[in-house]
Structure formats: structure tokens, C-alpha cells
Homo-oligomer: A and B are copies of this chain.
Amino acid sequence: MNHFLSVHDVNDLNALVSAGLAAKKTPFADQHLGQNKTIGLMFFNQSFRTRISTQKAAENLGLKVISLNVGSDSWGLEMEDGVIMNGTKAEHVKEAAAVIGRFCNIVGIRSFATLADQAADYAEQVFHQFRKYAGVPIVNLESATRHPLQSLADCITIAEFKKTQRPKVVLTWLPHIKPLPQAVANSFSEWMHQSDVEFVITHPKGYELAPEFAGNAPVIYDQDEALKGAHFVYGKNWSSFSQYGQILTEGRDWMIDDAKMSLTDGGYFMHCLPVRRNLKVTDSVLDGPQSLVIEQAANREWSAQAVLREILLSL
């Protein structure tokens, strides 16, 4: 693996899931791989799980870790080519990427959607520029449109808990008070399309994901109908793609509770965290035996380790 920006950088998804599960069993078996190598983690946005799990995974592999909060630790970066830099951005990504690529063997980047400009967000300029100029492998720590380390952790979790060969997985929109990016939903959908599952999406009308992410998954606008027989219920809020970045409906009746879960086939509840309790999903579901949210988060360490391991092997 060279870069890890999306599922399209993965050669063999099953092998990567297996590598994650192997890392979970013997976390320090590959500690020599990262010896005398360094990963730089650049955060354009806040991070809790991703920050910690990626650092943990890197150190499990013997890597040194350098973390940087862009814009507070250092300065803002200009992403556009050809501009006269007489504004607030003191440094161009051409230099910043090339320089960090000289100091670090791998560079992880987190840069969220602004939700102000669909075309700009979906162009993923930050990642394209870093991939172009850093000269080293780039790892997506959540971009405007994707969160592949989360999606891989989700696949690992499903692999651990599935009871049937081809489980039914339902991605369901949940209510929220703020407009959120589509990244996690996009990415999960993209990874499910590469997995041996029956994949269904449910959301209120107007929340259709971008076609390149939704793919040919059935979209059901009746949540109860969609949940029937589910083995895994994957909850997430996202703002509208077509009316970009907008909240179209309060949707309080889309919150997952015990009654909704009882429609499933003893299904598990999944969510990438953070999750707003009693707004997106009830305490009773989150605290019940069917919730996988902590296991999912814990698997972030093993998804990062599987990815970094494969990158290190190809350096």
C-alpha cells in the first residue's frame, strides 16, 4: 500500500481486516517495522479517538510520532496554486508538504469538510496537494468526504461479531442539532460495497449521499422498514448533500431506541463516536448488550495498525 486515502487504495480488504485482528491479538509482533522511522500527524481539526488510536498503533509498530495542530501549533496553509499570497495564509502547501515529507516517513492528515462549498469539499484539495507534494505515503485521518480508518475499524468489528456469512447491514441517518459532514456515511457505504454484506441505506428524503458513495445500495425512506431483519444498525447523522450542508428536518423520530432495535434480527448497534446520547440514540441502546460502539472505537487502534503496517512493509 502506498497512500491510504480511501477503500480504493486497498488491494485485499479481507486481508487488511485479518491483519487488524492479528494486531489485536499480538500488538507488538511487528515492533521492528517502524524502527528509526517517524509518522507525522497533522490535525487541521480536533481529534480524540483518531489522535490517540493512530499514535498507539504507530508506537506499537515501533514508529516515532510527531503530532501537529495546524493553525495553532503552526500556521495556516494556502492550498491554491498560483495565487499571490498576500492574505492570512503564511505558507503554501507545496512547501509544507515537501518539508514534512523530508522529516517524516509517513504523514497522516485530518481535514474536515467546511460544508460551505460542495465542489471544494468533494475535490479534497488538501489531500490531493499533500499526496502530490509530500513524496511519502499519506494516510487519511478523516477528510472532507471520507473516514477510511473508521470504516476499516467498522469492518473489523463486523467481522468479529457477525453470526451469519452475509449479514444485513443498515446505515441509518440519525437526528442532530448541527450540520455534520457526510464523510463517515460516505466512507462506510464505500467500504460496505466492497464487503460481503447485504447493505441498505435509510434516511429522510433529501439526505441522499453523493452517487459515487451511495452506489447501488437500496435506499429506503421508511426507517422501520429498513431495520427489519438487520444484523448491524450503523447510525450516523449527516447534512444534506444536494442542498449542501443544510439540515432539512429535525427528524426526532429517527432516534434509535429499544423499540426500533426490536425490529432487527437481534441486531447490534454501531456508531463511530462521538455520539450525542438521547438525541441520536437512547441511553438504553448505548448501554445495552447490543451496543458495539466501544468495541468499534477500540478497533480504531487495530485498523490504524493494519494500515500502517502495510505501508511500512511497502516502504
- Residues in chain A within 8 A of chain B (CB atoms): 27-28, 36, 38, 40, 43, 46-49, 51-53, 55-56, 59, 64, 66, 68-69, 72-75, 78, 81-86, 90-92, 94-96, 98-100, 102-104, 177, 273-279, 283, 286-287, 293-294, 297-298, 301
Do residues B276 and A85 form an inter-chain contact, with CB atoms below 8 A?
yes
B273 touches A91 (CB 8 A): yes
Determine the distance from Cα of A86 to Cα of B48 in the docked complex, in whole angstroms.
20
Complex Cα–Cα for A72 and B48 (A): 10
B-side contacts of A85, CB under 8 Å = 276-279
A85 to chain B, nearest CB (A): 4
Q: A36-B28, A46-B73, A103-B298 are in contact. Are A68 and B51 (CB under 8 A)?
A: yes
* Interface residue SS majority, chain A: mixed
Q: CB-CB < 8 A to A278: which residues of B?
A: 82-85
Closest 7 CB pairs of A and B: A91-B274, A48-B74, A85-B276, A102-B298, A84-B278, A99-B297, A98-B294
Instruction: Give the Cβ gap from A104 to chain B, nearest Cβ, in Å.
Output: 8
Choose from B38, B72, B91, B279 the contact partner of A56 (Cβ within 8 Å). B38
Closest B residue to A70 using CB positions: B48
Q: Indicate if the CB atoms of A103 and B66 lie closer than 8 Å.
A: no
Given contacts A276-B86, A298-B103, contact A66 B56 (CB under 8 A): yes
CB pair A99–B51 under 8 Å, yes or no, is no
The distance in angstroms between the C-alpha atoms of A94 and B284, with both chains bound, is: 13
Known contacts: A59-B38, A279-B86. The answer to whether A48 contacts B274 by CB under 8 A is no
User: Contact between B276 and A90 (Cβ–Cβ < 8 Å)?
Assistant: yes
Contacts of A75 in B (CB 8 A): 46, 48, 274
Which chain B residue shows the least CB distance to A87? Answer: B177
Known A59-B64, A95-B297; judge A46-B74 contact (CB<8 A): yes
**Cβ–Cβ contact A90 & B51, under 8 A:** no
Residues of B within 8 A of A48 (CB): 68, 73-75, 91, 96, 99
Residues of B close to A47: CB separation below 8 A: 73-74
Known: A48-B74, A53-B103, A102-B298. 11 other contacts (CB 8 A): A28-B36, A47-B73, A48-B73, A49-B99, A51-B73, A51-B74, A56-B64, A56-B103, A72-B72, A94-B286, A95-B297
| Nearest-neighbor residue (CB-CB) of A48 within chain B | B74
Output the least CB separation between A198 and chain B (Å).
Answer: 28
- The residue on B at minimum CB distance from A274 is B91
Measured between C-beta atoms, what is the minimum distance from A141 to chain B in Å? 13
Q: In whole Å, how far is A190's beta carbon from the nearest beta carbon of chain B?
A: 24
Given A72-B46, A73-B51, CB of A274 within 8 Å of CB of B103? no
- Which B residues lie within 8 Å of A287 (CB)? 94
Residues on B with beta carbons closer than 8 Å to the beta carbon of A74: 46-48, 51
12 A-B pairs whose Cβ atoms sit less than 8 Å apart in the complex:
A40-B52, A46-B75, A48-B68, A48-B73, A52-B66, A56-B66, A82-B283, A92-B274, A95-B274, A96-B274, A99-B297, A99-B298
